[in-house]
């Protein structure tokens, strides 16, 4: 059962900076297991992030890692991927990083369907800066900039990704760890832009302010309030009210961006037969 | 013998990039720089390079850095509003020492301003546009042929010093067509970044013990590394409140300021015995040359200092000039920007007089000549 | 494969019985109590804000603690 | 020729005058090996309204790149003629389309009127080669660039399949201007 | 039949700068008729735009008009609207302005469901800058930066708006003028973020390059390739292939942003009865 | 008597805004400025004002301008990376003469840098960060009480001159708590923009014949107008390649540079007979004061010039100072920025020496004292 | 309401018969031919790149031309 | 007191030490009318790792705002103690939690060890008031700010309903330190 995390973790970097109970560490372990399962070599994978607690993850893992500016991981990753289309490029981001300041890059990467596995760690808050509301903070909940209860409606990240054109969209949670391993594996295997939202707990800036006694309570909330999409789809609306679906939520076949681009390159570079 | 072509300044810039080995362009269209992108969108696919139009200038700058980290010589081109948007990621490139070239074709501003009008009013922004301390190299060609050659030089400097390099010129030269000669391959030097020779285990991306410009490893080349826009140690990992920050940022500045001899280039015209000097770059430098001719014809000893490198600023040269001329005249398509630097370096040793113009027309030789007569 | 998961440079507190070995890295443990609360059989407890093994014999090797420890601080090996 | 000589092509956006200017400059620089600088008006007015393309030629290097004292101005529309004629030198020439520029501005410059667009559409059969007809006329009127070079430049710039059409158009304009010059 | 446009057009501003055959003028007239129909007073409406040919529209109309920076109309409009929630605020934008550089503001305005009527004039190209491909340029078509045929997949603007949370989404064309008047009226009447995409022709930078002989051909293409959503939904996929639906494509009830915000303000400003 | 409070610099900034009549805040969180937003998110709803967290800093700046056009006194607050992003829309505000206040709490940079570390290295960006020529007013308080009062003054200046005003201070003062007195209403002057008195038909938003600061009408007030980021005529409609652009941009610059007397404020400390002057603002000014005390105690005639207005730069004051002291010492939490301006204005009349520090700690009084001894 | 639509400051070319009046503002017309090509009964034509009325009697007052003229250049009034 | 006096509260993020510092500064400035400057460590290390909050008090205006020569340092954790003790003056005092700081650093300063956290959890019944217990001890040890003022400041900052608890905690710390001082 035991897994050798050490082979992937940069020497001397643990303990990581995340708070006690921050579930990012759970996801981190899942990511390592998934990439290991797929036998992707360390030199052949890059992990790119923006700014935020979530975005600190790449610093710990012994791949090619790039910690960019807030919200901009996807453009940097696009430059990398288009330059090295045969390498694996992943992005890890927070709800704020990916969908607030980074929203435009997010939808455009989805539109292009470029082969970047994008993992959004949604903890419903801007953790790094101390708990301001994000585009996913539930309405009515408290945040340091919503002292009277949040009035801002939310993004549904999978809906947004799908509406923008992503070809693979999924959702997992930090509670459902074995399922999460499988989802990350599938997201990576998918060729094209895959978006995996992972529900996380930030006890420090969100949980405590919103009456979750501990990180464990937040994990149990995930357990009690989610349903696999297969079950979710079968139930009548009364039974699914207030719950969120998990699993592979959307999937389609669509040409991948680098493929299309380099096919064009091939076409125009060929000596033009049958032409003057 | 090279190839002769009649090209727009913007097209010459694209040709310069290709000559220098650029294989990646990311941009977002904006007048008056768009022809750089359009030209490369035709040419890059033909050499197997990548051309991508991003969703905005912020993304374009990010993609250029990403591509450079993968080892590609990368370019982006823009104008005022887009240049403002690129500033944050340009700062990332400077701190993380990512070679790349940014072209700013200057138009009337501020804000949307006069998109099709010329200006030279981003020149201080080239130096100070992003937050924090940062090293800046900025080249200012004045002729279409020079746009070509200075773009080649920009790539070389960016590879040599492992830093973004800006090429800034005004809309007039960007859009005007002149004959240029594109030298055959090998005629102009083309330089590549120094790559590590040590083992991957020993490699540190910001190892100052390797000199002010540490070798740079490409992503996916086996040298796994961490690159972050946080201040960092030599191994690339974040550092917080530490003397290292001071010494490392000093190194970044020193890379540029300490290599002024190598980086600074300029043309002088009849400056040896001049009593009045004109300090002008870009299209204003062209007018300056005509003004010198007019002045000399009228028996006035005028001369021209035309910087091709504006940042780092040719401080010593201007200081020396100030000690031997009566006045320095600074014509600019702005309300006065680079004159601040000239004034600073002149240290009160001579008069410094500006000529400003932002109505959409270039400063004429006559305007400069009149001022020469006034200050002589 | 047993134990390779544990950073050899770190101090490890191991508790074991015939069926299972539970390893804890005190320097990594942040005392979040996730493992303690999610352990279905109350094997784990807290002491001075750190996790400790209270009753290893109750352990069913369900792995809940290891899987959900965010800090690489607890590992369970079936023997 | 050692003097600076300034030619302006004006009309409305879409008449191909920028291309005409570029071809003229290319003929001068690449084929005739003299110096030339070509520039054009950009801006919203280039959509629909008056537009212009300017070529400065000279034996000497050209530093100041803007045309200010026009030796020869072509105007294919009334609007462009009215808007731009003021820069024409006293010794310069204004060449206008006979049908579209009725209101000839006053000035010391010489005025030549020719049915450029009509020639293109009726004689050559395609209105869109009016720019090349005009280019032929300008080549004749300036006498600074050889018609052979201009023809070479035209052929290197126009779409495949339209070479003969354009050669005809160039010659028609050139001949028409030559008769006017006598 | 005749309509008095003069009352809304700023004196001396015609002819407008748009090219011969540019269909923006058709839409402009439709907009004036719609606002006139709704009897909105000139002083009570603001029209905000970014940069592009489409964004030049506000300069011609005698309302409160604001021509901002490229892509940023919605944030400026948000500042206006939140300051004057009882006034009508509209945004007019191009496909590039709204969905390329302005994409983030677009999705966030949709998410907030702020009461701004947003009209996107989609001409499949960056017109103002001379014909570079936009996020809506059809794949394979030519653009000045896609000389070998566009390789960039497209946004479906209504899908994007819906995925982001807009509560009213529609599509019209410059050809179907009477229908367009009705759509604009309905978009304005809707309370919340309404997004109306209007298909337009740019003969200068898109049409000519893509074998449309004239603007009229582009208008006829709209006629031949669109279907009212009611018809579209009834037909089998074979019959709708290559066609696009028009009309009101999506509509939902959702609280409007300013309403929610000022309700919160009311709540917290009330003397706290029953509390110490 | 006002109210006494122990407040963070950032909180005092928010209190200053409220005192000045601010009813609109749009922002995006960023360390170390976030407390400004957090404080106002609690307070604005209580007075019926609007607080909105936008999707990014670009949007926040846009919303602030939109709200100001609707007549609200509007504020945004940010730090380096966000400040870089705001630059394009700040230029719009400057060209379109939109009153509003932008707070930049400076942190270590460039790029992400050291988010929680102090710096003074955006100070040149405050002046030159956006493209094109543009007028800049920038205030630099050094004490928590001053952050309050200078924020009030920022709003007043922005209303008086119809232009965005920047308030820039370092992380140390932004985060530190000191006692401040919030004066009762009416004690400090609060100014409102001049609104038109003519009829709507006669109104032109940029009518230079009404003086350098034409009256400004609110949207929806009956004065229908067109506002554009293109250069414009007095009636607000675009202008292309025209002398108007030159004269109008000159007016924008003149609004600020021509009113230096009114805008420039500074504190001097023991400067009258000083032989060595310290030029320092923000936290470095505080250290400067201690250094002067140390120097005086050691019998050295040192004095402090502490600017509260850094842009427009106190040129005349520095020039006058340079003519009467032996040296000016410029301590900065950067690798040397404002020293360029001091050097320029000193015109070689005295030594100018910098003290730079970017390791995350403030420059100490001892560092400055050592330099004083060196140059005295 | 007839004619109020036409900017009174502009030169108008009106053509009319008993049933209909077609007004053209030459300064506004950009000659795009949309009206000409979309007129179902060939009432309109081009001359020197501008629209002109060729045969007013064929006009059915369908309004296609007025509705789709992008330039405020042609107006049709039923009498 | 005219001298500058520097107090540092250190421990781990989440122990409420920043609040303790703020209360102490408030007691000094608002209630005791002496000058004070409070600052704290920000940064990733504030999450979990060592964190500190500093208060400088003085009769004179405080210009240089950073604590460099600590008169009194509280350390509730070993990590914070080890990380920060170096700034303590030779004449200063290090106050540590008896249970959590076992490894006392060497120095000329005086060391006082007290069961602060244990007092909070066992005596008062809530571990989270450890910061207030510590504050009480510090008030006693510094003697620069009156306990009455500190109590007022505590009551103005803590959540409604916890007033009694906090008063008790403050007193417990104060008394405990007083005995240690004898
Ligand atoms: C341009 C810019 N704006 C703002 C910030 C400040 N900032 C850093 S992280 C962050 C939000 C992080 O939230 P999220 O992405 O949800 O990540 P989390 O910390 O919750 O994991 C913000 C606003 C920044 N670094 N750069
Ligand atoms: C920051 C910035 N980037 C780029 C531009 C250049 N620009 C102006 S309009 C435009 C695109 C317009 O396209 P669209 O929004 O589709 O409008 P259209 O002209 O097609 O109506 C671009 C790229 C700009 N003005 N500002
Ligand atoms: S602040 Fe929240 S998201 Fe950040 S490390 Fe702490 S718990 Fe995790
Ligand atoms: S493996 Fe299961 S039973 Fe054993 S300690 Fe862990 S959670 Fe408890
Ligand atoms: S889950 Fe991990 S970090 Fe948390 S208490 Fe258990 S071992 Fe410690
Ligand atoms: S370029 Fe295209 S969109 Fe712009 S005005 Fe011309 S036709 Fe219209
Ligand atoms: S109204 Fe109809 S029939 Fe009459 S001219 Fe216009 S399009 Fe033709
Ligand atoms: S549609 Fe309008 S602009 Fe076009 S030709 Fe007809 S009248 Fe003229
Ligand atoms: Mg988050
Ligand atoms: Mg468009």
Distance CA H124, CA H169 (A): 6
Determine if ligand 5 sits within 6 Å of the CB of residue C53.
no
User: Ligand 3 centre and the CA of B114: distance in Å?
Assistant: 47
C-alpha F60: how far from chain center: 18
Structure tokens at H88: 């303590």
Superfamily covering domain A5-269: Thiamin diphosphate (ThDP)-binding fold, Pyr/PP domains (3.40.50.970)
Of all protein residues, the one whose alpha carbon is nearest to atom 2 of ligand 7 is G62
C-alpha F91: how far from chain center: 15
Distance CA E92, CA E34 (A): 14
Residue H51, in any domain of the structure: yes
In terms of pLDDT, which residue wins out, A116 or D47?
A116
Alpha helices, DSSP H, located in chain E:
24-37, 73-83, 95-99, 103-112, 157-164, 177-189, 215-225, 229-234, 237-240, 257-269
Return the residue matching tokens 């103005």.
H156
E96: closest chain B residue by CA: B55
Of all protein residues, the one whose alpha carbon is nearest to atom 6 of ligand 4 is C65
User: Ligand 1 centre and the CA of A188: distance in Å?
Assistant: 25
Confidence of residue D43 (pLDDT cuts 50, 70, 90): low
Asked if the Cβ–Cβ distance from E154 to A111 is below 8 Å, we say yes
Distance CA H167, CA H146 (A): 14
Residue H130, in any domain of the structure: no
- Residue of E103, E112, E162 lying closest to A108 (CB–CB): E103
Q: Are strands E64-67 and E88-94 parallel, antiparallel or unpaired?
A: unpaired
pLDDT digits (tens, 9 = 90+) for H4-49: 999 999 998 889 999 999 999 999 999 999 999 999 987 654 566 7
Helix E24-37 vs helix E177-189: crossing angle, to nearest 10: 50
Asked if the Cβ–Cβ distance from F38 to A132 is below 8 Å, we say yes
Span B140-153, mean pLDDT?
98
Cβ-based neighbour number of residue H124 at 10 Å: 21
Structure tokens at B207: 């190892």
Q: Which residues of chain F have pLDDT under 70?
A: none
DSSP conformation class of E16: P
Asked if the peptide bond before residue A224 counts as cis, ω within 30 degrees of 0, the response is: no
Asked if the Cβ–Cβ distance from B56 to E147 is below 8 Å, we say no
Secondary structure element (H or E) that encloses residue D20, with its range: helix D17-26
User: Ligand 1 centre and the CA of B51: distance in Å?
Assistant: 30
Taking the CA atoms of D79, D85, D87 and D88 in sequence, report the sign of the dihedral they define.
Answer: positive
Q: E170 pairs with which residues across the strands?
A: E196, E248
Residues of A in contact with B65 (CB under 8 A): 68, 76, 79
pLDDT higher than 70, residue D1: no
In degrees, rounded to 5, the angle at the alpha carbon of residue F20 between the alpha carbons of residues F17 and F25 is 40
Confidence of residue E17 (pLDDT cuts 50, 70, 90): very high
Across H61-175, the runs of DSSP E, i.e. the strands, are 70-75, 88-97, 110-114
Cβ-based neighbour number of residue E30 at 10 Å: 25
Predicted pLDDT of residue F299 = 97
Distance from CA of E224 to the nearest CA of D (A): 28
Distance CA E79, CA E98 (A): 17
Taking the CA atoms of E253, E254, E257 and E262 in sequence, report the sign of the dihedral they define.
Answer: positive
Determine if ligand 1 sits within 6 Å of the CB of residue F82.
yes
pLDDT higher than 70, residue B266: yes
Asked if the Cβ–Cβ distance from B290 to D64 is below 8 Å, we say yes
E17–D contact, CB cutoff 8 A: yes
Q: What SS3 state is found at D39?
A: strand
Distance CA F227, CA F235 (A): 9
> Roughly how many angstroms between the first and final C-alpha of chain C, as a whole number?
11
D22: closest chain B residue by CA: B177
Alpha helices, DSSP H, located in G1-79:
34-38, 64-68
Dihedral pair phi/psi, residue A194, rounded to 5°: -115, 135
DSSP conformation class of E66: E
Considering only CA atoms, which of H106, H57, H56 is closest in space to residue H85? H106
Predicted pLDDT of residue C10 = 84
What whole-number percentage of chain D has pLDDT above 70? 95
Asked if the Cβ–Cβ distance from A59 to B61 is below 8 Å, we say no
Cβ pairs B/H, distance under 8 A: 5
Considering only CA atoms, which of A53, A102, A45, A112 is closest in space to residue A74? A102
Helix E157-164 vs helix E103-112: crossing angle, to nearest 10: 50
Predicted pLDDT of residue F222 = 97
- Percent helix, strand, coil in chain D (nearest 5)? 45, 25, 30
Task: Assess whether chains B and F touch, using the rule of 3 or more C-beta pairs within 8 angstroms.
Answer: yes
Distance from CA of A271 to the nearest CA of H (A): 57
pLDDT digits (tens, 9 = 90+) for G1-59: 334 445 557 899 999 999 999 999 999 999 999 999 999 999 999 998 899 999 999 99
User: Ligand 7 centre and the CA of E95: distance in Å?
Assistant: 32
In degrees, rounded to 5, the angle at the alpha carbon of residue F316 between the alpha carbons of residues F314 and F321 is 95
Span C32-37, mean pLDDT?
98
User: Ligand 6 centre and the CA of E132: distance in Å?
Assistant: 12
Q: Do the Cβ atoms of E96 and E52 come closer than 8 Å?
A: yes
Of all protein residues, the one whose alpha carbon is nearest to atom 3 of ligand 2 is B82
Residue D170, in any domain of the structure: no
Predicted pLDDT of residue F1 = 72
Q: A93 pairs with which residues across the strands?
A: A120
> Roughly how many angstroms between the first and final C-alpha of chain H, as a whole number?
22
Residues of G in contact with E14 (CB under 8 A): 7, 10, 28, 71-72
Average pLDDT, chain H: 93
Residue D135, in any domain of the structure: no
- Mean pLDDT per 10-residue section of chain A, whose length is 276 residues: 89 94 98 98 98 98 98 98 98 98 98 98 97 98 98 98 98 98 98 98 97 97 98 95 97 98 95 49
Q: B307 pairs with which residues across the strands?
A: B266
Residues of H in contact with B241 (CB under 8 A): 43
G48–D contact, CB cutoff 8 A: yes
- Residue of B31, B51, B112 lying closest to E129 (CB–CB): B31
- Percent helix, strand, coil in chain C (nearest 5)? 15, 30, 55
Q: Do the Cβ atoms of H115 and H148 come closer than 8 Å?
A: no
Determine if ligand 6 sits within 6 Å of the CB of residue E202.
yes
Q: What ranges do the domains of chain E cover? A: 5-269
3-state per-residue secondary structure call for G3-16: CCCCCCCCCCEEEE
Neighbours of chain F (3+ CB pairs under 8 A): A, B, D, E, H
**Residue ranges lining ligand 2, Cβ < 6 Å:** B 28-30, 57, 81-82, 85, 112; E 51-54, 70, 94-97, 101, 121, 123, 125-129, 134
Q: By CB neighbour count within 10 A (0-12 exposed, 13-18 middle, 19+ buried), where does A123 fall?
A: buried
Dihedral pair phi/psi, residue F6, rounded to 5°: -95, 110
Q: Which residues have CB under 8 Å from F163's CB, separation 6+? A: F93, F94, F97, F98, F99, F135, F137, F157, F252, F255, F256
E21: closest chain D residue by CA: D48
> Domain containing H75 — which CATH number?
3.40.920.10
Return the residue matching tokens 């520090």.
F357
pLDDT digits (tens, 9 = 90+) for B17-66: 999 999 999 999 999 999 999 999 999 999 999 999 999 999 999 999 99
**Domains, chain F, with CATH or none:** 3-182 (3.40.50.970), 208-260 (no CATH), 265-375 (3.40.50.920)
Structure tokens at H153: 């400041």
pLDDT higher than 50, residue C2: no
What whole-number percentage of chain A has pLDDT above 90? 97
Cβ pairs B/F, distance under 8 A: 236
Q: Which residues have CB under 8 Å from E53's CB, separation 6+? A: D47, E17, E18, E22, E24, E94, E123, E127, E128, E202
pLDDT digits (tens, 9 = 90+) for F133-172: 999 999 999 999 999 999 999 999 999 999 999 999 999 9
Report, in angstroms and rounded to the nearest whole number, the Rg of chain B calculated over CA atoms.
21
pLDDT digits (tens, 9 = 90+) for H110-124: 999 999 999 999 999
Alpha helices, DSSP H, located in B221-327:
243-257, 260-263, 282-297, 315-324
> What ligand has the least distance to the C-alpha of C17?
4
Residue H75's domain spans which residues? 5-116+145-159
Asked if the Cβ–Cβ distance from F28 to A101 is below 8 Å, we say yes
Distance from CA of H17 to the nearest CA of C (A): 18
> Roughly how many angstroms between the first and final C-alpha of chain B, as a whole number?
44
Residue H125, in any domain of the structure: no
Q: What SS3 state is found at G51?
A: strand
Greatest distance between any 2 Cα atoms in chain F: 69
pLDDT higher than 50, residue C4: no
Residues of B in contact with E103 (CB under 8 A): 55
Of all protein residues, the one whose alpha carbon is nearest to atom 4 of ligand 4 is C59
ipTM of the complex: 0.97
Question: Distance of CA G25 to CAs C20, D82, E177, F158, G22, Å?
Answer: 93, 21, 21, 47, 10
Asked if the Cβ–Cβ distance from F6 to H22 is below 8 Å, we say yes
Q: How many domains does chain D have?
A: 1
Predicted pLDDT of residue A181 = 98
Asked if the Cβ–Cβ distance from E69 to B41 is below 8 Å, we say no
Q: Do the Cβ atoms of F317 and F264 come closer than 8 Å?
A: yes
> What ligand has the least distance to the C-alpha of A218?
3
Determine if ligand 8 sits within 6 Å of the CB of residue G32.
yes
Asked if the Cβ–Cβ distance from F172 to H65 is below 8 Å, we say yes
User: Ligand 10 centre and the CA of E53: distance in Å?
Assistant: 7
Cβ pairs B/E, distance under 8 A: 46
Structure tokens at G29: 């017309």
Predicted pLDDT of residue A183 = 98
Distance CA D56, CA D66 (A): 8
E140-145 own/partner pairs: CB under 8 Å, 24+ apart: E141/E206, E141/E209, E141/E210, E142/E209, E142/E210, E143/E206, E143/E209, E144/B34, E144/B38, E144/B41, E144/E205, E144/E209, E145/B29, E145/B37, E145/B38, E145/B41, E145/B51, E145/B53
Work out which ligand 1 atom sits closest to the CA atom of A54.
21
Considering only CA atoms, which of B49, B56, A76, B33 is closest in space to residue B41? B49
């Amino acid at each position: 059962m035991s897994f050798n995390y050490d082979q992937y973790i940069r020497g001397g970097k643990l303990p990581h900076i995340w708070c006690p109970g921050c579930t990012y560490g759970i996801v981190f372990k899942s990511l390592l297991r998934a990439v290991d399962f797929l036998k992707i070599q360390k030199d052949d994978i890059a992990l790119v992030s923006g700014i935020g607690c979530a975005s600190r993850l790449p610093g710990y893992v012994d791949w090619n890692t790039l910690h960019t500016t807030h919200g901009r991981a996807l453009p940097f990753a696009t430059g990398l991927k288009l330059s090295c289309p045969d390498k694996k490029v992943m992005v890890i981001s927070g709800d704020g990083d990916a969908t607030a300041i980074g929203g435009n890059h997010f939808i455009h990467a989805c539109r292009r369907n470029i082969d970047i596995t994008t993992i959004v760690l949604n903890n419903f808050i801007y953790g790094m800066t101390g708990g301001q509301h994000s585009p996913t903070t539930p309405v009515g909940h408290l945040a340091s900039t919503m002292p009277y209860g949040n009035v801002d409606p939310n993004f549904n990240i999978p809906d947004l990704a799908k509406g923008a054109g992503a070809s693979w969209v999924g959702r997992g949670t930090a509670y459902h760890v074995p399922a999460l391993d499988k989802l990350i594996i599938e997201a990576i295997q998918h060729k094209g832009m895959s978006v995996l939202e992972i529900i996380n707990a930030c006890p420090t800036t969100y949980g405590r302010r919103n009456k979750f006694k501990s990180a464990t309570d937040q994990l149990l909330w995930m357990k009690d309030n989610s349903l696999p999409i297969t079950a979710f789809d079968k139930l009548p609306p009364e039974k699914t009210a207030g719950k969120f679906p998990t699993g592979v939520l959307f999937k389609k076949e669509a040409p991948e961006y680098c493929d299309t681009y380099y096919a064009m390159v091939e076409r125009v570079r060929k000596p033009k037969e049958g032409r003057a | 013998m090279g190839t002769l072509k009649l090209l727009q300044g913007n097209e010459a810039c694209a040709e310069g990039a290709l000559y220098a080995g650029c294989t990646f362009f990311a941009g977002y269209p904006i007048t008056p720089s768009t022809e750089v992108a359009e030209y490369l969108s035709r040419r890059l696919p033909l050499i197997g390079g990548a051309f991508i139009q991003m969703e905005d200038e912020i993304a374009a700058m990010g993609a250029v850095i990403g591509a450079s980290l993968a080892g590609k010589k990368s370019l982006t081109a823009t104008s005022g509003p887009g240049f403002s948007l690129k500033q944050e990621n340009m700062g990332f490139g400077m701190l993380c020492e990512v070679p790349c070239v940014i072209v700013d074709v200057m138009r009337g501003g501020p804000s949307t301003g006069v998109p099709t009008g010329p200006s030279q009013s981003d020149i201080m922004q080239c130096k100070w546009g992003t937050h924090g301390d940062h090293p800046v190299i900025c080249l200012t060609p004045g002729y279409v042929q020079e746009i070509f050659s200075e773009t080649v030089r920009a790539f070389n400097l960016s590879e040599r010093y492992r830093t973004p390099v800006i090429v800034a010129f005004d809309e007039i030269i960007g859009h005007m067509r002149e004959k240029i000669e594109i030298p055959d391959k090998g005629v102009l030097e083309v330089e590549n970044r120094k790559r590590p020779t040590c083992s991957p285990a020993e490699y540190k991306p910001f190892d100052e013990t390797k000199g002010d410009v540490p070798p740079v490893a490409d992503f996916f080349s086996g040298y796994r590394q961490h690159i972050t826009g946080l201040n960092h140690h030599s191994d690339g990992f974040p550092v917080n409140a530490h003397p290292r920050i001071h010494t490392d940022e000093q190194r970044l500045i020193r890379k540029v300021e300490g290599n002024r001899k190598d980086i600074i280039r300029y043309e002088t015209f009849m400056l040896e015995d001049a009593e009045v000097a004109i300090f002008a770059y870009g299209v204003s430098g062209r007018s300056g040359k005509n003004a010198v001719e007019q002045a000399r014809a009228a028996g006035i000893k005028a001369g021209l200092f035309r910087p091709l490198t504006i940042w780092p600023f040719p401080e010593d040269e201007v200081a020396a000039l100030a000690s031997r001329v009566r006045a320095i005249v600074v014509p600019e398509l702005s309300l006065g920007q680079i004159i601040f630097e000239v004034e600073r370096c002149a240290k009160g040793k001579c008069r410094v007089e500006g000529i400003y113009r932002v109505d959409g027309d270039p400063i004429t030789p006559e305007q400069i000549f009149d001022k020469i007569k006034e200050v002589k | 494969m047993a134990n390779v998961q544990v950073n050899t440079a770190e101090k490890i507190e191991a508790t074991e019985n015939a069926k299972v070995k539970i390893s804890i890295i005190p320097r990594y443990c942040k005392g979040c109590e996730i493992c303690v609360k999610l352990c279905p059989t109350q094997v784990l407890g807290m002491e001075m804000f750190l996790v400790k093994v209270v009753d290893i014999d109750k352990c069913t090797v369900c792995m809940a603690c290891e899987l959900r420890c965010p800090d690489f601080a607890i590992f369970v090996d079936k023997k | 020729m050692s003097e600076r000589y300034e030619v302006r092509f004006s009309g409305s956006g879409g008449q191909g005058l920028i291309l005409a200017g570029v071809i003229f400059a290319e003929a001068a620089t690449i084929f005739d090996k003299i110096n030339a600088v070509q520039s054009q008006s950009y801006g919203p007015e280039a959509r629909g309204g008056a537009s212009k393309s300017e070529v400065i030629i000279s034996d000497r290097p050209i530093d100041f790149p803007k045309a200010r004292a026009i030796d020869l101005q072509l105007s294919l529309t009334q609007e462009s003629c009215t808007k731009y004629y003021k820069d024409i030198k006293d010794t310069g020439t204004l060449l206008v389309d006979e049908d579209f520029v009725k209101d000839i501005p006053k000035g010391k410059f010489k005025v030549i009127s020719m049915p450029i667009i009509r020639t293109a559409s009726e004689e050559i059969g395609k209105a869109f080669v009016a720019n090349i007809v005009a280019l032929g006329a300008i080549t004749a009127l300036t006498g600074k660039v050889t018609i052979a070079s201009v023809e070479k430049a035209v052929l290197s710039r126009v779409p495949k399949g339209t070479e003969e059409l354009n050669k005809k158009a160039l010659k028609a304009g050139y001949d028409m201007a030559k008769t006017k010059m006598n």
